[in-house]
Amino acid sequence: MSHILVTGGAGFIGANFVLDWLAQPRADGIVNVDKLTYAGNLKTLASLENDKRHVFSRTDICDRAALDRLLAEYRPSAVVHFAAESHVDRSIHGPGEFVQTNIVGTFTLLESVRAYWAALKREVQAGFRFLHISTDEVFGSLGADDPRFSETTAYAPNSPYSASKAASDHLVRAYHHTYGLPVLTTNCCCA
């Protein structure tokens, strides 16, 4: 069976992505890589308990060896990267975990994926994608009369959370420009 690899697939947005994806009748399987912090909840995925298309691995994205093993075993055609420390207030009280997961974790994942992707056959390489889920908060705050953010808005992160996500966005961009890794970044907003 073909697979995609999803990080943070037991979290709020990631779990809904996993359920939506597997609701498609001919969907590829998912390797769901999640550390199960306070924010992860496998109960959201209870309906997939007997679904062989869903492989769950309790793994930290900072664990390079574990990521290498999963990529080698499942040979995913894409990586969808949701895993993050994501709550602004928690980042004010304890920024260290945000730097670790959002920056070091994204870096570790990029390194693992780069090595995997570089060894793929050329035609498989061309179709591969690394989708990085980021946030509109990297652009700062909007006043009531300000124009909307766009792809050309300057980065202006205001919290340790948004600064760590901004750093991860820059790493993802750099891996495209430096190594050619096919990446996409979405700076979505959850209103």
Ligand X SMILES: NC(=O)c1ccc[n+]([C@@H]2O[C@H](COP(=O)([O-])OP(=O)(O)OC[C@H]3O[C@@H](n4cnc5c(N)ncnc54)[C@H](O)[C@@H]3O)[C@@H](O)[C@H]2O)c1
Residues that bind ligand X (CB under 6 A): 7-8, 10-14, 34-37, 39-40, 60-62, 82-86, 101, 105, 133, 135, 165, 188-190
Q: In the complex, what is the shortest distance from the CB of residue 38 to ligand X, in angstroms, rounded to a whole number?
A: 8
- Is the CB of 59 or the CB of 181 nearer to ligand X? 59
Closer to ligand X at the Cβ: 17 or 116? 17
Closest separation in Å from C-beta 9 to ligand X: 7
Beta bridge partners of residue 184, listed in sequence order: 131
Virtual CA dihedral for 160, 163, 168, 174, nearest 10 degrees?
-150
Closest to 120 in 3D by CA, of 167, 157, 76, 175 = 76
CB nearer ligand X, residue 118 or residue 184: 184
Catalytic residue among 74, 116, 161, 175: 161
Point out the catalytic residue in the list 85, 137, 169, 175. 137
- Residue 137 known to be catalytic: yes
136 labelled catalytic: yes
- 3-state DSSP call for residue 78? strand
| Among 34, 60, 85, 136, the one annotated catalytic | 136
Min dist. Cβ of residue 121 to ligand X (A):
29
**Minimum distance from residue 185 beta carbon to ligand X (Å):** 11
Contact call for residues 51 and 22 (beta carbons, < 8 A):
yes
Per-position b or e across 91-127, b if 16+ CB within 10 A of its CB: beeebeebbbbbbebbbbbbbbbbebbeeeeeeeeee
Give yes or no: 74 in active site: no
Q: Which amino acid, residue 66?
A: A
Q: Which residues are annotated as catalytic?
A: 136-137, 161
